Amino acid sequence: MQKDTRARLIKDGAIWGFIVLELIFFSVAGHFLSLSENAFMDLENMLLLLKQSAPIGIIALGMTMVMINGNIDLSVGAIFALSAVVMLDSMGWAVFAPLGDWVIPISWALALLTGMALGAINGLIVWKTGVDAFIVTLGSMLGFRGLVFMYNGEQPTFHLNWTMVDMAQASVFGLQTPSLVLIACTAIVWWILNKTIHGRNVYAVGDNREAAVNAGIRVGPHMMINFVIIGFLAALSSVVFYSASGSVNPNDGMLYELWVITAVVLGGTKLTGGKGSVIATFGGVIAIQLLRKGLGHIGADTAMVSLVIGSILIVVLYLDKQLNRKGAEDLKL
Amino acid sequence: MKIRKTLSATTAVAAMLGAGAAFAQGPYTIGITQNNVGVDSYQTTYEKAFIAAAEKNENVETVVLDAGGDVARQIAQMQDLIQQEVDAIIIWPTNGKAVIPAVREAHQAGIPVVVTNSNIAEEGFDFVSSFSGPDNITQGARAAEIMCDRFKDLGIAGEAQIVEITGQPGYTTAIERSKGFTDRLPEVCPDVTLLESQPGDWSREKSQKVMEAFLVKYDDIDGVYAGDDNMGVGALNAAKAAGRAEDITFVGATNFAVGYEAMERGEYWGSIYQSPVDDAEAALQTAIDVLEGKDVPFLNYFDTPKITQENMDQFTKPVF
């Protein structure tokens, strides 16, 4: 019994332990290998890390909900790109020209609506056809990406508005806009998952769909709402990122779904659903960004970073499997 | 990591020699964020040449980064370099427009930025100290002249039909070469028709597929202009497989070893000779000149001459 509790503690705290380990490693290694005179653990560097985590992080919050729900969404990268295209393109529409800079909130709203609409399409298909979400969103991943290319061919969509860039680069107490959005979204999604009926249902449906149906949860619409939420968050992530860069390539956001899923899985959310935590996902996102940044800090190249993150993911899943074995006798650490 | 270790070693040596060094300032720390090192041999050779040039100069330390073709990662790398307080940043943009706000951040932090190889869009010029690289408009124009001269020699300048395979969309080099080519061609050969342009993304495989599609679509193709030799050879391979390579004049840009060899075999007509070693050394020198307060022209071009089967003996085979 006591061993059980200990195992759970190790498991739940694992991601934070991992982060501490990374920090120690990169601080020590950076001391010898980095050319920079600033320490790795420098406050500014950590604030920058939080900001750079935001694009993947915001989407990962939604992915946590969808995965606890027992589904998955592979189309987030394409939604990310399409929302950006809508946002940047709409800023140049003649209809909005008299508005001046007031076009910015309207374009943001259009982008967010795009994300929600695309999420609703995913959710509706999953609900009405009963086809596995993996297949549905694999299809929409390709389909939405096709829309991105149809919109503007292979050309980038571009609109540079310095007011918007200044807003995206603004900061409060050293936290830049993307960091603030990430923190706020984490708090809100945490609240939804832990304090609302919808949130409890997310776990119930993911744990045992049949039991959830028997308990009177309308599983179809319930799942659709979650797809709308992740669509919204993918679009929000896009708004935050592209407000600061002002240009989107049709290939942008490719492989984002995989980075997002990696972060969520690192945070301990089960691929089979029913279990997971948004705070641990936040940890997973930070852990990945720390690895990227830390390996860059000590001078490893880009290919090396992918190799290391991939290896760690497999090790984490292996450890997770070991810790989840029933009975302490199977526990090998 | 290996690079970094060697660099730290040279740094240590430089520091020891520092007392007797002739330089008034420095050593300078120069950060570079490149586009996509592994993707083709030009960029791989560029990186090697850049590191070699930096090692030779004991007054310079470098932080060498690669964005892997990812705009988001390049922006993050720019922010990292600003945070590390390097003395100057060299950027090989993944996207000539999306990096402008990040370049502005560097400018606002008082760090001079040198753009290398492919320029950023005009909106960002205010935040850049200098651009070091090839003149891609001229390269495109010269390619058009090579193509036209060849058609005149063959006596088909009055009716020739050509296709174009461009580089990665959104990439300034691709846009400028295409513009230089399509603007110059009607001036020198008004009766040559450009049937279609499609992007080959700097990739030999993609370009081969694009050319296969062209060969199915058009029965009469007399010439192919490719945004670089890598793509040109991809197109050549597609034409050879279809048995139509003999009738087609292939002109590329950035002469690669594969292009040079194809020219030796008489299968590929011409290209533009551009050395990544010159490119890398020019970028580093431009950054150093900016730091030393020298007068640097805003557009700091290095020369890239025409190369065809007729004059190729004057050029050594590219190493990449």
- List the single range of A33-47, B1-15, B89-103, B196-210 with lowest mean pLDDT: B1-15
Tell me if B18 sits within 8 A of A314, measured CB to CB. Answer: no
| Residue A126 included in any domain | yes
pLDDT in tens, A264-297: 998 888 888 888 999 999 999 999 999 888 887 7
| Better-predicted residue by pLDDT, A28 or A324 | A28
Tell me what pLDDT residue A227 has.
Answer: 97
CA separation for the pair B277, A87 (Å, rounded): 41
Q: What is the mean pLDDT of chain B?
A: 88
CA–CA distances in Å: residue B308 to residues B144, B149, B251, B266: 13, 11, 9, 10
DSSP A273: S
Q: How confident is the model at residue A327 (pLDDT cuts 50, 70, 90)?
A: very low
Of B68, B72, B102, nearest to A302 by CB-CB distance is B68
| Residue B316 included in any domain | no
Of B68, B79, B95, nearest to A247 by CB-CB distance is B95
Look-up: residue for tokens 């174009």?
B164
- Please tell me the distance in Å from B157's CA to the nearest CA on chain A: 31
Do B143 and B118 lie in a common domain? no
Q: How confident is the model at residue A4 (pLDDT cuts 50, 70, 90)?
A: low
Tell me what pLDDT residue A157 has.
Answer: 86
Tell me what pLDDT residue B13 has.
Answer: 42
Do B256 and B223 lie in a common domain? yes
Question: What whole-number percentage of chain B has pLDDT above 70?
Answer: 92
B11: pLDDT strictly greater than 70: no
User: Chain B residues with CB inside 8 Å of A45's CB?
Assistant: 83
User: Chain A residues with CB inside 8 Å of B210's CB?
Assistant: none
| Residue B108 included in any domain | yes
Do B291 and B176 lie in a common domain? no
| Residue A285 included in any domain | yes
Other Cβ atoms less than 10 A from the Cβ of A296: the count is 22
| Residue B250 included in any domain | yes
Tell me if A226 sits within 8 A of A101, measured CB to CB. Answer: no
Across the interface, do A245 and B98 touch by the CB < 8 Å criterion?
yes
Do B281 and B264 lie in a common domain? no
| Residue B65 included in any domain | yes
Average pLDDT value for residue range B117-140: 92
Tokens of B305: 């001459």
Label the pairing between strands B161-166 and B193-199: parallel
DSSP A156: P
CA separation for the pair A56, A230 (Å, rounded): 12
Tell me what pLDDT residue B71 has.
Answer: 86
Q: How confident is the model at residue B146 (pLDDT cuts 50, 70, 90)?
A: very high
Q: How confident is the model at residue A203 (pLDDT cuts 50, 70, 90)?
A: very high
- List the single range of A27-36, A123-132, B44-53, B234-243 with lowest mean pLDDT: A27-36
CA separation for the pair A7, A328 (Å, rounded): 9
CA–CA distances in Å: residue A91 to residues A96, A114, A131, A237, B142: 7, 15, 37, 18, 38
B45: pLDDT strictly greater than 60: yes
Interface of A to B at Cβ within 8 Å reads 33-38, 42, 44-45, 48, 51-52, 55, 153-156, 158, 160, 165, 168-169, 241, 244-250, 252, 293, 296-303
Tell me what pLDDT residue A97 has.
Answer: 82
Do B259 and B281 lie in a common domain? no
Which of A245, A260, A290 has the most B C-beta neighbours within 10 Å, making it the best mutation to test the interface with B?
A: A245
DSSP string, A66-109: HHHTT---TTHHHHHHHHHHHHHHHTT-GGGGGGGGGHHHHHHH
Tell me what pLDDT residue A155 has.
Answer: 77
Tokens of A113: 């609506």
Q: Which amino acid, one-letter code, is at B94?
A: T
B6: pLDDT strictly greater than 60: no
| Residue B310 included in any domain | no
Return the SS3 of A157.
Answer: strand
Question: Residue A201: in which H helix or E strand, if any?
Answer: helix A197-207
pLDDT in tens, A296-324: 777 776 678 778 888 888 887 787 777 66
Domain count, chain A: 1
Q: Using N-to-C axis directions, what is the helix angle for A76-90 and A219-245, rounded to 10°?
A: 50
Of B72, B77, B98, nearest to A55 by CB-CB distance is B72
Do B215 and B189 lie in a common domain? yes
Q: Which amino acid, one-letter code, is at A249?
A: N
Residue of chain A minimizing CA distance to B67: A302
Do B119 and B17 lie in a common domain? yes
Tell me if A68 sits within 8 A of A274, measured CB to CB. Answer: yes
Number of CB pairs < 8 Å for A and B? 103
Across the interface, do B83 and A48 touch by the CB < 8 Å criterion?
yes
Average pLDDT value for residue range A97-110: 91
Q: What is the mean pLDDT of chain A?
A: 87
Tell me if B41 sits within 8 A of B259, measured CB to CB. Answer: no
CA separation for the pair B226, B212 (Å, rounded): 14
pLDDT in tens, A222-279: 999 999 999 999 999 999 999 998 888 888 888 899 999 999 998 888 888 888 999 9
- List the single range of A32-41, A176-185, A189-198, B224-233 with lowest mean pLDDT: A32-41
CATH classification of the domain holding A305: 1.10.3470
Average pLDDT value for residue range A177-194: 96
Tell me what pLDDT residue A178 has.
Answer: 94
pTM, two decimals, is: 0.78
- Please tell me the distance in Å from A106's CA to the nearest CA on chain B: 21
CATH classification of the domain holding B259: 3.40.50.2300
Across the interface, do A252 and B72 touch by the CB < 8 Å criterion?
yes
| Better-predicted residue by pLDDT, A38 or A42 | A42
Question: Residue A172: in which H helix or E strand, if any?
Answer: strand A171-172
User: Chain B residues with CB inside 8 Å of A51's CB?
Assistant: 79
Tell me what pLDDT residue A13 has.
Answer: 73
Domain count, chain B: 2
Do B211 and B83 lie in a common domain? no
Look up the domain containing B190 and give its range.
136-273
A175: pLDDT strictly greater than 70: yes
B14: pLDDT strictly greater than 50: no
Do B198 and B227 lie in a common domain? yes
| Residue A58 included in any domain | yes
Tell me what pLDDT residue B224 has.
Answer: 97
pLDDT in tens, B196-247: 999 998 899 999 999 999 999 999 999 999 999 999 999 999 999 999 999 9
| Residue B261 included in any domain | yes
| Residue A206 included in any domain | yes
pLDDT in tens, B253-272: 988 889 999 999 999 999 99
Across the interface, do B169 and A153 touch by the CB < 8 Å criterion?
yes
Look up the domain containing A245 and give its range.
2-326
Tell me if A246 sits within 8 A of A158, measured CB to CB. Answer: yes
Q: How confident is the model at residue A37 (pLDDT cuts 50, 70, 90)?
A: low
Interchain contact B75–A (C-beta under 8 A):
yes
| Residue A273 included in any domain | yes
CA separation for the pair B160, B220 (Å, rounded): 9
Tokens of A160: 């540079």
| Better-predicted residue by pLDDT, B318 or B185 | B185
Tell me what pLDDT residue B25 has.
Answer: 64
Average pLDDT value for residue range A107-117: 97
Tell me what pLDDT residue A24 has.
Answer: 87
Cα dihedral B45, B47, B49, B52 in deg (nearest 10): -140
CA separation for the pair A52, A253 (Å, rounded): 14
- List the single range of A35-39, B285-289, B313-317 with lowest mean pLDDT: A35-39
Q: How confident is the model at residue B69 (pLDDT cuts 50, 70, 90)?
A: confident
